[in-house]
Amino acid sequence: MKPEYDLCVIGGGAAGLVVAAGGAGLGAKVLLVEKHRLGGDCLYFGCVPSKTLLKSAKVFHQRQPAAASLHGLPAPAAGPAASIPDVMRRVRQVIAGIEPHDSPERFRSLGVEVLLEGGRFIDPRTFETAGRRITARRFVLATGSRPVLPPIPGLDSVPCLTNETVFSLDEAVPSLLVIGAGPIGCELAQAFARLGTRVTVVAREPRVLMREDADAAAVVQASLARDGVVFELGATPTQVSGAAGRIVTTFERADGSIGSIESTHLLVAAGRAVNTEGLGLANAGVEVVAGRITNDDRLRTTNPDIFVAGDAAGRQQFTHVAEHHAGIVLRNALFHLPARVESRVVPWCTFTEPEIARVGLCEAEARAAGLAFESYRFDFAELDRARAEGETDGFARILTDHKGRLLGATLVGAHAGEAIAEYALAMAKKMKASDISGVIHVYPTFAQINRRVADQRLKASLTPTAKRWIRRLFGLRGPQ
């Protein structure tokens, strides 16, 4: 019997929505199945609410006396403290403004059949949902991920927040303990600290943002510390006790000493797990190993008619990667093109202030891979626009091979997430540092740092020997 649909997409987050809309736009008959609501983690629990919260925190922070003094302005009169309920109300308003774009009505208008139900595979070619047995030429798993609660004794008996619940707060937050020092933990710690909450970050890692080079992460950590965040790093949480409003977290430091902190609220930001439960993946012939769906670089699972995309693929868990996955899946599933996931050029950004963004290799990764590389750096403190705006923290660094081909770029500073796109394009097109150096950049902008750091590679190539040859060839008479 001929399958009922060309594509059945399971999951209505970023990856699933792009696959569904793209498939319908290309003429496919598409069914989108989502058991909760369309929009996924990015709209409700991730990118949209967290960046809205960070903006509110930044505006409130800029009203403080220290910020006014930096810009030669009189200290503002003392105003009311930030209201967490009001800020979260603003977060929810922004979400509500975007919701129609991801609504079932909009996707139905695009030609996608939408079914808001749960379901499971009953065999390799059939998905059962809402009393129906769905058959399709290709299935796409876009079920996303969820926050992990680490096995800390007592954690399950106290109220704790995750990124899925923190934006629903409707109460004051006098003090907050954050478990985890990755991107989510750092962003939320800074936001709450700037809104007036006493924040402590406890993490097993010896520093924040372990995926980044230590000196870049140190710039972010220093900024958070200036905002009042207290760090207990290299510390393992061993016990959580208490009740709402008086939660006690006990931890053991690397030197064996024991510490404990009482806070009104507890936020866990200690990693994420792929959503695979209840889908009947074993019935579908889809292998799951240690919670990860097995897939290849074409995003095919062990059932060649079932693809996976977004967080569920177990690769980098970013919305822009989910959108990239959607394109790969459509080309493979509908047109049988040998499209493969990009792994060399994947930019990302942590939206603290300053931001930290990267594409390609960092120094630690290049060393671990045993690569021969050259490293060049330019500080934001030497950039005119950064001086004018008082945002001089951080630097740009690029790595090249001996021929100047780009291997990676790291930016930690103002607007790093915007500026990294130029290096992502350069790496995707296999350009050299000299290609960036040769492009005119608007003055004065933060984006100029991309050219400035590329210029460092050009200057390094002017060795004393090279300079002597230039003098001889062109008859130059400047000082030796």
Residues in the chain where the model's pLDDT stays below 50: none
Nearest CA-CA partner of 235 in 247, 216, 249, 222: 249
Per-residue pLDDT tens for 246-302?
A: 999 999 999 999 999 999 999 999 999 999 999 999 999 999 999 999 999 999 999
A 10 A CB-CB count for 297 gives 13
Q: Which helix (H) or strand (E) holds 194?
A: helix 183-194
What stretches of 130-278 adopt beta strand conformation (E)? 132-141, 145-147, 175-179, 198-203, 230-233, 235-243, 246-253, 258-263, 265-268, 272-274
How confident is the model at residue 480, as a pLDDT? 67
How confident is the model at residue 460, as a pLDDT? 84
Residue partners of 455: CB distance under 8 A and separation at least 6: 378, 437
How far is residue 399's CA from residue 372's CA, in Å, rounded to a whole number?
Answer: 10
Cis omega (within 30 of 0) on the bond before 444? yes
Residue partners of 80: CB distance under 8 A and separation at least 6: none
How far is residue 124's CA from residue 298's CA, in Å, rounded to a whole number?
Answer: 19
How confident is the model at residue 203, as a pLDDT? 98
How confident is the model at residue 463, as a pLDDT? 66
261 close to 178: Cβ distance less than 8 angstroms? no
Nearest CA-CA partner of 195 in 53, 75, 356: 53
**Which structural domains are found in the chain, ordered by start?**
5-38+103-147+273-335 (3.50.50.60), 155-270 (3.50.50.60), 348-464 (3.30.390.30)
How far is residue 322's CA from residue 333's CA, in Å, rounded to a whole number?
Answer: 16
How confident is the model at residue 443, as a pLDDT? 96
How confident is the model at residue 340, as a pLDDT? 97
How confident is the model at residue 458, as a pLDDT? 86
3-state secondary structure of 50: helix
How far is residue 441's CA from residue 85's CA, in Å, rounded to a whole number?
Answer: 43
Per-residue CA distances from 445 to 51, 194, 254, 386, 442 (Å) = 23, 26, 43, 8, 6
Sign (positive or negative) of CA dihedral 109, 320, 40, 19? positive
How confident is the model at residue 258, as a pLDDT? 97
Per-residue CA distances from 397 to 368, 409, 410, 438, 456 (Å) = 18, 6, 5, 17, 10
Nearest CA-CA partner of 171 in 200, 148, 149, 192: 192
118 close to 129: Cβ distance less than 8 angstroms? yes
User: Bridge partners of 292?
Assistant: 289
Q: At residue 82, what are phi and psi to the nearest 5 degrees?
A: -65, 140
Q: What is the DSSP string of 359-419?
A: EE--HHHHHHTT---EEEEEEGGG-HHHHHHT----EEEEEE-TT-BEEEEEEEETTHHHH
How far is residue 139's CA from residue 126's CA, in Å, rounded to a whole number?
Answer: 9
Q: At residue 26, what are phi and psi to the nearest 5 degrees?
A: -90, 0
pTM value? 0.94
Q: At residue 44, what are phi and psi to the nearest 5 degrees?
A: -100, -30
